A and B are shown apart, each in its own frame.
Chain A
Amino acid sequence: GENVEQHPSTLSVQEGDSAVIKCTYSDSASNYFPWYKQELGKRPQLIIDIRSNVGEKKDQRIAVTLNKTAKHFSLHITETQPEDSAVYFCAAYDGGSEKLVFGKGTKLTVNP
């Protein structure tokens, strides 16, 4: 089945700096890659996703890049703000099924 590895597990940056979180996946048939943000005690919220027909997608300060050959995708947050502090999860669909396999999460802390 699909295996999703996520790094780093924790990331601390100064306000205004950029943050990058990386994920690798194992199933070459995977073609949809969402990123979720989860604040403490809250639901995972979709912040951006990418499908395999594109290599990059941007939404204001957030961007995701996809390298299908290397089987990895990354989340980029620019001009970080304290409210960006949360746990971020990447995910990919498993094999021929419709279950999402999640990375273990990255705890991002943005220091004012």
Chain B
Amino acid sequence: NAGVMQNPRHLVRRRGQEARLRCSPMKGHSHVYWYRQLPEEGLKFMVYLQKENIIDESGMPKERFSAEFPKEGPSILRIQQVVRGDSAAYFCASSPQGGRQETQYFGPGTRLLVL
């Protein structure tokens, strides 16, 4: 049973380019969460999605960032016109049903470096 998959594992972009990060949840999981981790810091919630729906995007910057989880295919976190401050590790997590007692399982992360 494959765990949460993320790709790419490492991504280098120049300022102003776009970054697309992909996340495939564990089999049977329909809830996806994205978190950002700056060096030597904890994880900060960005957005929570179910298939075809954004449930909570309160942690995501209003500009340049967007997320989707289509009916088919992985969830995608998109960052337009990247800036150096976007350099971080981006982790997604999935859970089977959602809910405030559900365990979230994390993927290996995408480490974004903006030059």
Physical interaction between A and B: yes
Which A residues have a C-beta under 8 Å from some C-beta of B?
A: 30-32, 34, 36, 42-46, 49, 51, 89, 93-94, 97-105
Q: Which A residues are in CB contact (< 8 Å) with B44?
A: 102
Are the C-beta atoms of B59 and A99 separated by less than 8 Å? yes
**A-B interface contact total, Cβ < 8 Å:** 60
Are the C-beta atoms of A99 and B45 separated by less than 8 Å? yes
B99 within 8 A of A: yes
Are the C-beta atoms of A45 and B106 separated by less than 8 Å? yes
Are the C-beta atoms of B106 and A98 separated by less than 8 Å? no
B74 within 8 A of A: no
Q: What is the interface residue range for chain B against chain A?
A: 20 to 34
Q: Using A44-B43, A44-B106, A89-B43 as known contacts, say yes or no to A98 and B98 having CB atoms under 8 A apart.
A: yes
B1 within 8 A of A: no
Can you show 19 pairs from A to B with CB atoms below 8 A apart? A31-B101, A32-B100, A32-B101, A34-B103, A36-B106, A42-B108, A43-B91, A43-B109, A97-B48, A98-B99, A98-B100, A99-B48, A99-B58, A99-B59, A100-B33, A100-B43, A102-B43, A102-B44, A104-B42
B55 within 8 A of A: yes
B104 within 8 A of A: yes
Q: Which B residues are in CB contact (< 8 Å) with A32?
A: 100-102
10 closest residue pairs by CB, A with B: A99-B45, A102-B42, A32-B101, A93-B100, A43-B106, A104-B42, A102-B43, A44-B106, A43-B108, A105-B42
